A and B are shown apart, each in its own frame.
Chain A
Amino acid sequence: MINSAVFNPHTNAWGEPTLVIDRITVEKSLSRYIAKLGNPVPARAADGRLQLFFVTVSIGGWAGSSISTMSSSDEGLTWSKPQRLITSPFTNLSTLVKTPAIPFADSRLGLPAYHEWIGKFGELLRIDGDQVIDKRRMSSGRSAIQPLVLVDAPEKAQAYFRQTRGSSKPHQIPVSETQNAGQSWQAQADLPIANPNAAITGVLLSNGLRILVANDLESGRSRLVMLAKDNLDTQWQTIDVLEDDEALAPEQRREFSYPYMIADGTQVDLVYTWDRKKIRHIRFDSNWIKQAYSNAQAKTVSSEEGKQ
Protein backbone atom coordinates (compact mmCIF):
# COMPACT_ATOMS: atom_id res chain seq x y z
CA MET A 1 0.00 0.00 0.00
CA ILE A 2 1.00 3.64 -0.39
CA ASN A 3 0.55 6.00 2.56
CA SER A 4 0.94 9.74 2.87
CA ALA A 5 1.69 12.00 5.82
CA VAL A 6 1.46 15.78 6.08
CA PHE A 7 4.21 17.92 7.59
CA ASN A 8 3.13 20.93 9.63
CA PRO A 9 5.90 23.55 9.40
CA HIS A 10 4.44 25.55 12.32
CA THR A 11 4.56 22.68 14.80
CA ASN A 12 7.48 21.05 12.97
CA ALA A 13 5.68 17.72 13.21
CA TRP A 14 4.32 15.06 10.88
CA GLY A 15 0.70 13.94 11.01
CA GLU A 16 -0.34 10.29 11.18
CA PRO A 17 0.11 8.38 7.91
CA THR A 18 -3.09 7.86 5.94
CA LEU A 19 -3.80 5.43 3.13
CA VAL A 20 -3.49 6.79 -0.41
CA ILE A 21 -4.14 3.53 -2.26
CA ASP A 22 -3.78 -0.19 -1.68
CA ARG A 23 -3.06 -3.13 -3.94
CA ILE A 24 -6.66 -4.33 -4.20
CA THR A 25 -7.94 -0.89 -5.28
CA VAL A 26 -5.20 -0.63 -7.90
CA GLU A 27 -5.89 -4.06 -9.38
CA LYS A 28 -9.63 -3.39 -9.54
CA SER A 29 -9.04 -0.01 -11.22
CA LEU A 30 -6.55 -1.41 -13.71
CA SER A 31 -8.49 -4.69 -14.25
CA ARG A 32 -5.40 -6.83 -13.83
CA TYR A 33 -3.65 -8.76 -11.09
CA ILE A 34 -1.20 -6.65 -9.06
CA ALA A 35 1.14 -8.29 -6.53
CA LYS A 36 2.70 -5.19 -4.97
CA LEU A 37 3.06 -1.40 -5.15
CA GLY A 38 6.11 0.77 -4.61
CA ASN A 39 8.31 3.77 -5.42
CA PRO A 40 5.74 6.60 -5.04
CA VAL A 41 6.90 9.85 -6.66
CA PRO A 42 4.70 12.92 -6.16
CA ALA A 43 4.75 15.78 -8.66
CA ARG A 44 2.96 19.10 -9.06
CA ALA A 45 1.20 19.41 -12.42
CA ALA A 46 1.12 22.80 -14.15
CA ASP A 47 -2.59 23.21 -13.38
CA GLY A 48 -1.90 22.83 -9.64
CA ARG A 49 -3.06 19.23 -9.30
CA LEU A 50 -0.97 16.83 -7.26
CA GLN A 51 0.07 13.91 -9.44
CA LEU A 52 1.39 10.67 -8.00
CA PHE A 53 3.46 8.19 -9.98
CA PHE A 54 4.12 4.73 -8.56
CA VAL A 55 5.11 1.30 -9.75
CA THR A 56 3.10 -1.91 -9.74
CA VAL A 57 4.39 -5.46 -10.03
CA SER A 58 2.19 -8.30 -11.31
CA ILE A 59 4.72 -11.10 -11.40
CA GLY A 60 8.31 -11.51 -10.25
CA GLY A 61 10.48 -8.91 -8.55
CA TRP A 62 10.77 -5.15 -8.83
CA ALA A 63 12.48 -5.48 -12.21
CA GLY A 64 9.07 -6.44 -13.61
CA SER A 65 7.48 -3.14 -12.58
CA SER A 66 5.26 -0.86 -14.62
CA ILE A 67 4.35 2.74 -13.83
CA SER A 68 0.87 3.95 -12.95
CA THR A 69 -0.33 7.45 -12.14
CA MET A 70 -3.24 9.20 -10.46
CA SER A 71 -3.98 12.80 -9.53
CA SER A 72 -5.62 14.83 -6.80
CA SER A 73 -7.27 18.23 -7.02
CA ASP A 74 -7.58 18.60 -3.22
CA GLU A 75 -3.98 18.21 -2.09
CA GLY A 76 -4.18 14.47 -1.63
CA LEU A 77 -7.48 14.12 0.25
CA THR A 78 -9.03 12.23 -2.66
CA TRP A 79 -7.45 10.70 -5.74
CA SER A 80 -8.55 9.86 -9.26
CA LYS A 81 -8.55 6.24 -10.47
CA PRO A 82 -5.03 5.09 -11.34
CA GLN A 83 -4.06 4.87 -15.00
CA ARG A 84 -1.27 2.73 -16.34
CA LEU A 85 1.56 4.29 -18.33
CA ILE A 86 2.76 2.13 -21.21
CA THR A 87 6.48 2.62 -21.61
CA SER A 88 7.96 -0.64 -22.85
CA PRO A 89 7.10 -2.81 -25.89
CA PHE A 90 7.76 -6.12 -24.12
CA THR A 91 4.47 -6.62 -22.19
CA ASN A 92 5.21 -3.23 -20.59
CA LEU A 93 7.79 -4.90 -18.36
CA SER A 94 10.37 -3.11 -16.28
CA THR A 95 9.96 0.62 -16.14
CA LEU A 96 10.31 2.24 -12.74
CA VAL A 97 10.31 5.71 -11.21
CA LYS A 98 12.25 6.93 -8.21
CA THR A 99 13.38 10.52 -8.77
CA PRO A 100 11.41 13.80 -8.98
CA ALA A 101 9.65 14.91 -12.16
CA ILE A 102 10.67 18.12 -13.95
CA PRO A 103 8.30 20.62 -15.59
CA PHE A 104 8.51 21.53 -19.28
CA ALA A 105 7.75 25.05 -20.53
CA ASP A 106 4.58 23.77 -22.29
CA SER A 107 3.11 22.64 -18.92
CA ARG A 108 3.88 18.97 -19.53
CA LEU A 109 5.94 16.91 -17.11
CA GLY A 110 9.24 15.20 -17.70
CA LEU A 111 9.39 12.02 -15.67
CA PRO A 112 12.82 10.44 -15.25
CA ALA A 113 12.34 6.66 -15.35
CA TYR A 114 14.55 3.62 -15.72
CA HIS A 115 14.62 0.00 -16.84
CA GLU A 116 16.31 -2.73 -14.86
CA TRP A 117 15.58 -5.99 -16.63
CA ILE A 118 17.66 -6.88 -19.73
CA GLY A 119 19.13 -3.39 -19.83
CA LYS A 120 19.71 -1.02 -16.92
CA PHE A 121 19.35 2.47 -18.28
CA GLY A 122 17.53 5.77 -17.80
CA GLU A 123 14.78 7.36 -19.87
CA LEU A 124 12.98 10.67 -19.79
CA LEU A 125 9.23 10.22 -20.27
CA ARG A 126 7.21 13.17 -21.49
CA ILE A 127 3.86 13.07 -19.73
CA ASP A 128 0.69 14.81 -20.86
CA GLY A 129 -1.98 14.29 -18.19
CA ASP A 130 -1.93 10.58 -17.60
CA GLN A 131 -0.27 9.33 -20.73
CA VAL A 132 3.21 9.10 -22.18
CA ILE A 133 3.55 11.10 -25.39
CA ASP A 134 7.29 10.72 -25.94
CA LYS A 135 10.34 9.15 -24.37
CA ARG A 136 14.06 9.62 -24.82
CA ARG A 137 16.92 7.40 -23.73
CA MET A 138 19.31 8.99 -21.24
CA SER A 139 21.84 6.16 -20.98
CA SER A 140 22.32 2.67 -22.38
CA GLY A 141 23.74 -0.67 -21.35
CA ARG A 142 23.49 -2.13 -17.87
CA SER A 143 25.21 0.44 -15.71
CA ALA A 144 22.96 3.35 -14.70
CA ILE A 145 19.47 3.58 -13.17
CA GLN A 146 17.34 6.10 -11.24
CA PRO A 147 18.24 9.26 -13.20
CA LEU A 148 18.16 12.45 -11.18
CA VAL A 149 17.70 15.44 -13.49
CA LEU A 150 18.94 18.91 -12.52
CA VAL A 151 17.90 21.61 -15.00
CA ASP A 152 20.54 24.32 -15.61
CA ALA A 153 18.91 26.33 -18.42
CA PRO A 154 15.87 26.09 -20.74
CA GLU A 155 17.70 23.61 -22.97
CA LYS A 156 20.44 22.32 -20.69
CA ALA A 157 20.22 19.70 -17.96
CA GLN A 158 22.40 17.09 -16.31
CA ALA A 159 21.30 13.68 -15.09
CA TYR A 160 23.09 11.84 -12.30
CA PHE A 161 22.52 8.10 -11.89
CA ARG A 162 22.82 5.31 -9.38
CA GLN A 163 25.54 3.06 -10.85
CA THR A 164 24.87 -0.67 -11.32
CA ARG A 165 28.23 -1.67 -12.80
CA GLY A 166 30.17 -4.88 -12.25
CA SER A 167 32.82 -5.07 -9.56
CA SER A 168 35.68 -4.44 -12.02
CA LYS A 169 34.28 -1.06 -13.14
CA PRO A 170 34.41 2.28 -11.29
CA HIS A 171 31.78 2.65 -8.59
CA GLN A 172 31.10 6.33 -9.16
CA ILE A 173 28.08 8.41 -10.12
CA PRO A 174 27.43 8.19 -13.92
CA VAL A 175 26.39 11.42 -15.68
CA SER A 176 24.47 12.28 -18.87
CA GLU A 177 23.86 15.72 -20.30
CA THR A 178 21.37 17.27 -22.70
CA GLN A 179 21.74 20.50 -24.64
CA ASN A 180 18.32 20.33 -26.33
CA ALA A 181 15.83 20.06 -23.47
CA GLY A 182 16.03 16.29 -23.21
CA GLN A 183 15.60 15.33 -26.87
CA SER A 184 19.02 13.68 -26.86
CA TRP A 185 21.44 12.81 -24.07
CA GLN A 186 25.19 12.25 -24.10
CA ALA A 187 27.17 10.34 -21.50
CA GLN A 188 29.74 12.45 -19.63
CA ALA A 189 32.61 11.63 -17.29
CA ASP A 190 31.51 10.19 -13.93
CA LEU A 191 31.24 12.47 -10.93
CA PRO A 192 34.25 11.74 -8.70
CA ILE A 193 31.92 10.61 -5.91
CA ALA A 194 31.82 6.98 -4.84
CA ASN A 195 28.49 5.19 -5.25
CA PRO A 196 27.83 1.68 -3.90
CA ASN A 197 24.88 0.96 -6.25
CA ALA A 198 22.64 3.09 -4.03
CA ALA A 199 20.04 5.76 -4.74
CA ILE A 200 21.10 9.42 -4.82
CA THR A 201 19.06 12.59 -4.62
CA GLY A 202 19.71 16.24 -5.29
CA VAL A 203 18.42 19.70 -6.07
CA LEU A 204 19.65 22.78 -7.87
CA LEU A 205 19.18 25.86 -5.69
CA SER A 206 18.19 29.24 -7.13
CA ASN A 207 21.69 30.55 -6.33
CA GLY A 208 23.17 27.95 -8.70
CA LEU A 209 24.42 25.63 -5.97
CA ARG A 210 24.02 21.92 -6.77
CA ILE A 211 23.24 19.74 -3.77
CA LEU A 212 23.54 15.97 -3.71
CA VAL A 213 22.81 13.50 -0.92
CA ALA A 214 24.46 10.13 -1.40
CA ASN A 215 26.19 7.18 0.24
CA ASP A 216 29.75 8.17 -0.73
CA LEU A 217 31.13 4.66 -0.30
CA GLU A 218 32.29 1.97 -2.73
CA SER A 219 30.12 -0.57 -0.91
CA GLY A 220 27.55 -0.46 1.88
CA ARG A 221 25.09 2.24 2.86
CA SER A 222 26.28 3.03 6.36
CA ARG A 223 27.32 6.61 5.59
CA LEU A 224 25.14 9.32 4.10
CA VAL A 225 26.50 12.75 3.22
CA MET A 226 25.37 16.01 1.68
CA LEU A 227 27.64 17.37 -1.06
CA ALA A 228 27.55 20.67 -2.91
CA LYS A 229 29.19 22.36 -5.88
CA ASP A 230 28.63 25.70 -7.58
CA ASN A 231 29.14 26.44 -11.27
CA LEU A 232 32.58 28.01 -10.71
CA ASP A 233 33.98 25.25 -8.57
CA THR A 234 35.26 22.06 -10.16
CA GLN A 235 35.22 20.05 -6.97
CA TRP A 236 32.31 18.66 -4.95
CA GLN A 237 32.52 19.57 -1.27
CA THR A 238 31.11 17.41 1.52
CA ILE A 239 29.16 19.97 3.52
CA ASP A 240 27.42 17.71 6.03
CA VAL A 241 27.81 14.13 7.21
CA LEU A 242 24.22 13.14 7.91
CA GLU A 243 24.87 9.60 9.14
CA ASP A 244 28.08 7.67 9.61
CA ASP A 245 28.47 4.17 11.03
CA GLU A 246 31.73 3.44 9.24
CA ALA A 247 33.66 3.43 12.49
CA LEU A 248 31.52 0.56 13.81
CA ALA A 249 32.14 -3.12 13.21
CA PRO A 250 30.49 -4.28 9.93
CA GLU A 251 27.74 -6.24 11.72
CA GLN A 252 26.80 -3.19 13.84
CA ARG A 253 26.50 -0.77 10.93
CA ARG A 254 23.05 0.48 10.08
CA GLU A 255 21.79 1.31 6.58
CA PHE A 256 20.85 4.85 5.51
CA SER A 257 19.33 4.67 2.09
CA TYR A 258 16.84 5.84 -0.57
CA PRO A 259 17.26 9.61 -0.02
CA TYR A 260 14.69 11.93 -1.65
CA MET A 261 15.04 15.70 -1.60
CA ILE A 262 13.01 18.68 -2.80
CA ALA A 263 13.63 22.42 -2.63
CA ASP A 264 10.90 24.99 -2.17
CA GLY A 265 12.04 28.61 -1.95
CA THR A 266 14.61 28.81 0.82
CA GLN A 267 13.74 25.40 2.32
CA VAL A 268 15.30 22.11 1.33
CA ASP A 269 13.59 18.96 2.61
CA LEU A 270 15.36 15.62 2.73
CA VAL A 271 13.85 12.27 3.65
CA TYR A 272 15.60 8.90 3.74
CA THR A 273 15.17 5.39 5.04
CA TRP A 274 16.79 5.02 8.44
CA ASP A 275 18.08 1.51 9.00
CA ARG A 276 15.12 0.08 7.03
CA LYS A 277 12.92 0.83 10.07
CA LYS A 278 11.96 4.50 9.87
CA ILE A 279 11.83 7.44 7.51
CA ARG A 280 13.93 10.37 8.70
CA HIS A 281 13.15 13.95 7.63
CA ILE A 282 15.61 16.83 7.83
CA ARG A 283 14.76 20.40 6.81
CA PHE A 284 17.63 22.64 5.71
CA ASP A 285 17.68 26.38 5.18
CA SER A 286 19.33 27.26 1.88
CA ASN A 287 21.36 30.02 3.61
CA TRP A 288 22.74 27.42 6.00
CA ILE A 289 23.66 25.23 3.03
CA LYS A 290 25.39 28.16 1.33
CA GLN A 291 27.35 28.94 4.49
CA ALA A 292 28.29 25.29 4.99
CA TYR A 293 29.50 25.15 1.38
CA SER A 294 31.65 28.31 1.85
CA ASN A 295 33.14 26.82 5.01
CA ALA A 296 33.92 23.53 3.25
CA GLN A 297 35.50 25.41 0.34
CA ALA A 298 37.66 27.49 2.70
CA LYS A 299 38.71 24.34 4.53
CA THR A 300 39.74 22.68 1.24
CA VAL A 301 41.73 25.77 0.17
CA SER A 302 43.54 25.98 3.53
CA SER A 303 44.34 22.23 3.53
CA GLU A 304 45.71 22.52 -0.04
CA GLU A 305 47.82 25.52 1.01
CA GLY A 306 49.02 23.52 4.03
CA LYS A 307 50.14 20.68 1.74
CA GLN A 308 52.18 23.14 -0.38
Chain B
Amino acid sequence: MKNFMQTIALLEMALTCGTLLVWLLQRNFEAQIPVAARIILALLLANLFYWPLGMFMELPLAAYIRGVTGDLSMVSLLLLWSSVLLDRIDPRNTEAHFVPMGFKVAIVIIAFSFYPFALGLGMLDPYGWGYASVGFLIAVSIFAAILAIGNWSKGTFIIALAILAWSIHWHESANLWDYLLDPFLMLWALLACISSVRRKRRERLQSGFLFRAG
Protein backbone atom coordinates (compact mmCIF):
# COMPACT_ATOMS: atom_id res chain seq x y z
CA MET B 1 0.00 0.00 0.00
CA LYS B 2 2.83 2.38 0.92
CA ASN B 3 4.31 2.17 -2.60
CA PHE B 4 1.04 3.28 -4.15
CA MET B 5 0.09 5.81 -1.47
CA GLN B 6 1.51 8.86 -3.26
CA THR B 7 0.09 7.78 -6.64
CA ILE B 8 -3.35 7.19 -5.12
CA ALA B 9 -3.30 10.56 -3.35
CA LEU B 10 -2.26 12.32 -6.57
CA LEU B 11 -5.00 10.55 -8.51
CA GLU B 12 -7.55 11.57 -5.88
CA MET B 13 -6.45 15.20 -6.10
CA ALA B 14 -6.54 15.13 -9.92
CA LEU B 15 -10.06 13.66 -9.88
CA THR B 16 -11.14 16.21 -7.28
CA CYS B 17 -9.90 19.05 -9.48
CA GLY B 18 -11.65 17.50 -12.51
CA THR B 19 -14.86 17.16 -10.50
CA LEU B 20 -14.70 20.78 -9.36
CA LEU B 21 -14.33 21.89 -12.98
CA VAL B 22 -17.40 19.85 -13.94
CA TRP B 23 -19.33 21.48 -11.08
CA LEU B 24 -18.21 24.93 -12.25
CA LEU B 25 -19.23 24.11 -15.83
CA GLN B 26 -22.69 23.05 -14.69
CA ARG B 27 -23.14 26.14 -12.54
CA ASN B 28 -21.83 28.66 -15.05
CA PHE B 29 -23.58 27.30 -18.12
CA GLU B 30 -26.70 26.34 -16.15
CA ALA B 31 -26.64 22.97 -17.84
CA GLN B 32 -27.55 19.63 -16.35
CA ILE B 33 -25.02 17.22 -17.83
CA PRO B 34 -26.04 13.52 -17.80
CA VAL B 35 -24.34 11.38 -15.13
CA ALA B 36 -22.26 9.30 -17.57
CA ALA B 37 -21.06 12.43 -19.37
CA ARG B 38 -20.15 14.09 -16.07
CA ILE B 39 -18.03 11.08 -15.03
CA ILE B 40 -16.26 10.89 -18.39
CA LEU B 41 -15.67 14.66 -18.42
CA ALA B 42 -14.29 14.58 -14.86
CA LEU B 43 -11.93 11.71 -15.74
CA LEU B 44 -10.74 13.51 -18.87
CA LEU B 45 -10.15 16.73 -16.97
CA ALA B 46 -8.37 14.76 -14.19
CA ASN B 47 -5.72 13.83 -16.77
CA LEU B 48 -4.91 17.50 -17.13
CA PHE B 49 -4.02 17.61 -13.44
CA TYR B 50 -2.41 14.18 -13.11
CA TRP B 51 0.19 14.19 -15.88
CA PRO B 52 3.17 16.58 -15.84
CA LEU B 53 2.52 19.35 -18.35
CA GLY B 54 6.19 20.22 -18.74
CA MET B 55 7.05 23.82 -19.55
CA PHE B 56 8.32 25.48 -16.34
CA MET B 57 6.60 22.94 -14.08
CA GLU B 58 8.56 20.06 -12.55
CA LEU B 59 5.44 18.31 -11.27
CA PRO B 60 1.83 17.65 -12.30
CA LEU B 61 -0.67 20.41 -11.48
CA ALA B 62 -2.27 18.19 -8.82
CA ALA B 63 1.06 18.01 -6.96
CA TYR B 64 1.21 21.81 -6.69
CA ILE B 65 -2.35 21.94 -5.40
CA ARG B 66 -1.61 19.07 -3.00
CA GLY B 67 1.43 20.96 -1.71
CA VAL B 68 -0.92 23.68 -0.50
CA THR B 69 -4.02 21.75 0.55
CA GLY B 70 -2.53 18.46 1.73
CA ASP B 71 -4.73 15.37 1.31
CA LEU B 72 -8.44 16.01 1.65
CA SER B 73 -10.46 13.87 4.05
CA MET B 74 -12.30 10.85 2.66
CA VAL B 75 -15.58 12.46 3.72
CA SER B 76 -14.79 15.55 1.62
CA LEU B 77 -13.73 13.48 -1.38
CA LEU B 78 -16.69 11.13 -1.31
CA LEU B 79 -19.21 13.90 -0.69
CA LEU B 80 -17.82 15.97 -3.55
CA TRP B 81 -17.49 13.12 -6.04
CA SER B 82 -20.88 11.61 -5.25
CA SER B 83 -22.71 14.96 -5.16
CA VAL B 84 -21.27 16.40 -8.36
CA LEU B 85 -20.82 13.26 -10.43
CA LEU B 86 -23.61 10.93 -9.32
CA ASP B 87 -26.51 12.96 -7.90
CA ARG B 88 -29.40 13.58 -10.26
CA ILE B 89 -30.44 16.91 -8.73
CA ASP B 90 -30.52 19.83 -11.15
CA PRO B 91 -27.49 22.05 -10.28
CA ARG B 92 -29.52 25.11 -11.33
CA ASN B 93 -31.89 24.40 -8.45
CA THR B 94 -30.03 26.10 -5.60
CA GLU B 95 -32.67 25.07 -3.09
CA ALA B 96 -32.10 21.38 -3.64
CA HIS B 97 -29.90 19.77 -1.01
CA PHE B 98 -27.35 17.09 -1.82
CA VAL B 99 -26.55 16.88 1.85
CA PRO B 100 -28.96 17.33 4.80
CA MET B 101 -28.64 20.62 6.67
CA GLY B 102 -28.32 18.73 9.97
CA PHE B 103 -25.08 17.17 8.76
CA LYS B 104 -23.67 20.54 7.72
CA VAL B 105 -24.57 22.07 11.08
CA ALA B 106 -22.97 19.10 12.86
CA ILE B 107 -19.76 19.55 10.82
CA VAL B 108 -19.61 23.25 11.72
CA ILE B 109 -20.19 22.57 15.43
CA ILE B 110 -17.61 19.75 15.51
CA ALA B 111 -15.03 21.78 13.56
CA PHE B 112 -15.47 24.90 15.71
CA SER B 113 -15.12 22.78 18.86
CA PHE B 114 -12.21 20.77 17.50
CA TYR B 115 -9.82 23.12 15.68
CA PRO B 116 -9.09 25.65 18.48
CA PHE B 117 -8.03 22.88 20.86
CA ALA B 118 -6.22 20.86 18.18
CA LEU B 119 -4.27 23.98 17.14
CA GLY B 120 -2.95 24.75 20.60
CA LEU B 121 -5.62 26.13 22.92
CA GLY B 122 -4.90 24.54 26.31
CA MET B 123 -3.31 21.19 27.07
CA LEU B 124 -6.22 19.07 25.77
CA ASP B 125 -5.51 17.84 22.24
CA PRO B 126 -8.56 16.13 20.68
CA TYR B 127 -6.52 15.40 17.53
CA GLY B 128 -4.54 12.86 19.59
CA TRP B 129 -7.74 10.79 20.03
CA GLY B 130 -7.63 9.99 16.32
CA TYR B 131 -4.57 7.74 16.60
CA ALA B 132 -5.93 4.83 18.58
CA SER B 133 -8.76 5.90 20.83
CA VAL B 134 -11.48 3.24 20.96
CA GLY B 135 -13.77 5.80 22.58
CA PHE B 136 -13.37 8.14 19.60
CA LEU B 137 -14.02 5.32 17.12
CA ILE B 138 -17.21 4.42 19.01
CA ALA B 139 -18.28 8.11 18.98
CA VAL B 140 -17.76 8.30 15.20
CA SER B 141 -19.70 5.06 14.72
CA ILE B 142 -22.58 6.44 16.83
CA PHE B 143 -22.55 9.61 14.68
CA ALA B 144 -22.74 7.43 11.55
CA ALA B 145 -25.64 5.47 13.09
CA ILE B 146 -27.48 8.74 13.85
CA LEU B 147 -27.16 9.70 10.16
CA ALA B 148 -28.76 6.38 9.22
CA ILE B 149 -31.56 6.91 11.74
CA GLY B 150 -31.97 10.40 10.27
CA ASN B 151 -32.66 8.72 6.93
CA TRP B 152 -29.39 9.73 5.24
CA SER B 153 -27.80 6.36 4.61
CA LYS B 154 -25.38 7.90 2.10
CA GLY B 155 -23.76 9.76 5.02
CA THR B 156 -23.45 6.54 7.01
CA PHE B 157 -21.89 4.86 4.00
CA ILE B 158 -19.39 7.69 3.52
CA ILE B 159 -18.30 7.60 7.16
CA ALA B 160 -18.02 3.80 7.04
CA LEU B 161 -15.76 4.11 3.99
CA ALA B 162 -13.67 6.76 5.77
CA ILE B 163 -13.19 4.43 8.77
CA LEU B 164 -12.28 1.60 6.40
CA ALA B 165 -9.73 3.82 4.60
CA TRP B 166 -8.19 4.77 7.96
CA SER B 167 -8.00 1.13 9.04
CA ILE B 168 -5.99 0.17 5.94
CA HIS B 169 -3.87 3.34 6.09
CA TRP B 170 -5.10 4.55 2.69
CA HIS B 171 -3.57 8.03 3.09
CA GLU B 172 -0.31 9.16 4.72
CA SER B 173 -2.07 9.90 7.98
CA ALA B 174 -2.62 7.31 10.70
CA ASN B 175 -5.10 9.62 12.42
CA LEU B 176 -8.85 9.01 11.99
CA TRP B 177 -9.62 12.75 12.17
CA ASP B 178 -7.76 13.25 8.87
CA TYR B 179 -10.14 10.83 7.15
CA LEU B 180 -13.24 12.53 8.57
CA LEU B 181 -12.65 16.27 8.63
CA ASP B 182 -10.57 18.93 6.91
CA PRO B 183 -10.68 22.74 6.80
CA PHE B 184 -12.28 22.74 3.34
CA LEU B 185 -15.16 20.57 4.55
CA MET B 186 -15.62 22.96 7.48
CA LEU B 187 -15.58 25.98 5.16
CA TRP B 188 -18.08 24.40 2.77
CA ALA B 189 -20.42 23.46 5.64
CA LEU B 190 -20.13 26.94 7.17
CA LEU B 191 -20.89 28.69 3.86
CA ALA B 192 -23.79 26.32 3.23
CA CYS B 193 -25.24 27.11 6.69
CA ILE B 194 -24.85 30.88 6.19
CA SER B 195 -26.40 30.64 2.74
CA SER B 196 -29.33 28.62 4.13
CA VAL B 197 -29.98 31.17 6.89
CA ARG B 198 -29.89 34.01 4.35
CA ARG B 199 -32.26 32.18 2.01
CA LYS B 200 -34.72 31.51 4.81
CA ARG B 201 -34.59 35.14 5.85
CA ARG B 202 -35.21 36.22 2.25
CA GLU B 203 -38.17 33.85 2.05
CA ARG B 204 -39.64 35.32 5.22
CA LEU B 205 -39.15 38.82 3.84
CA GLN B 206 -40.90 37.85 0.65
CA SER B 207 -43.76 36.30 2.62
CA GLY B 208 -44.37 39.69 4.25
CA PHE B 209 -44.52 38.31 7.78
CA LEU B 210 -41.69 40.40 9.25
CA PHE B 211 -41.99 43.68 11.15
CA ARG B 212 -40.04 46.59 9.74
CA ALA B 213 -36.93 47.37 11.83
CA GLY B 214 -37.17 50.49 14.04
Total A-B contacts with CB atoms under 8 angstroms apart: 107
Whether a CB of chain A sits under 8 angstroms from the CB of B63 is yes
When the two chains form the complex, which single residue of B10, B125, B183 contacts A31, counting CB atoms closer than 8 Å?
B10
One of B27-35, B65-73, B188-196, B203-211 contacting the partner: B65-73
CB distance from A197 to the nearest CB of B (A): 18
B120→A115 contact, CB < 8 A: yes
Q: For the complex, would chain B's binding face be called helix, strand, loop or mixed by DSSP majority?
A: helix
When the two chains form the complex, which single residue of A24, A83, A93, A140 contacts B172, counting CB atoms closer than 8 Å?
A83
Q: Which residues of B contact A27 (CB under 8 A)?
A: 58-59, 63, 67
One of A11-19, A127-135, A163-171, A212-220 contacting the partner: A127-135
Give the size of the chain B interface in residues (CB under 8 angstroms): 40
One of B38-46, B79-87, B90-98, B111-119 contacting the partner: B111-119
One of B100-108, B127-135, B146-154, B156-164 contacting the partner: B127-135
Whether a CB of chain B sits under 8 angstroms from the CB of A121 is yes
One of A41-49, A84-92, A299-307 contacting the partner: A84-92
CB distance from A29 to the nearest CB of B (A): 7
Whether a CB of chain B sits under 8 angstroms from the CB of A241 is no
One of B15-23, B137-145, B173-181 contacting the partner: B173-181
A136→B125 contact, CB < 8 A: yes
Q: Which residues of A contact B2 (CB under 8 A)?
A: 83
Given A59-B68, A91-B183, A136-B125, are A131 and B63 also a contact pair (CB < 8 Å)?
no
Q: Which residues of A contact B119 (CB under 8 A)?
A: 88-90, 115, 117-119
CB distance from B131 to the nearest CB of A (A): 5
Across the interface, name the chain B residue whose C-beta is closest to A92. B70
Whether a CB of chain B sits under 8 angstroms from the CB of A137 is yes
When the two chains form the complex, which single residue of A83, A91, A135, A142 contacts B125, counting CB atoms closer than 8 Å?
A135
B120→A132 contact, CB < 8 A: no
B178→A89 contact, CB < 8 A: yes
B7→A31 contact, CB < 8 A: yes
Q: What separation, in Å, do the CA atoms of A232 and B182 have in the docked complex?
A: 50
Whether a CB of chain B sits under 8 angstroms from the CB of A278 is no
B residues near A (Cβ < 8 Å) are 2, 6-7, 9-10, 58-59, 63-64, 66-70, 114-115, 118-125, 127-128, 130-132, 169, 171-175, 177-178, 181-183
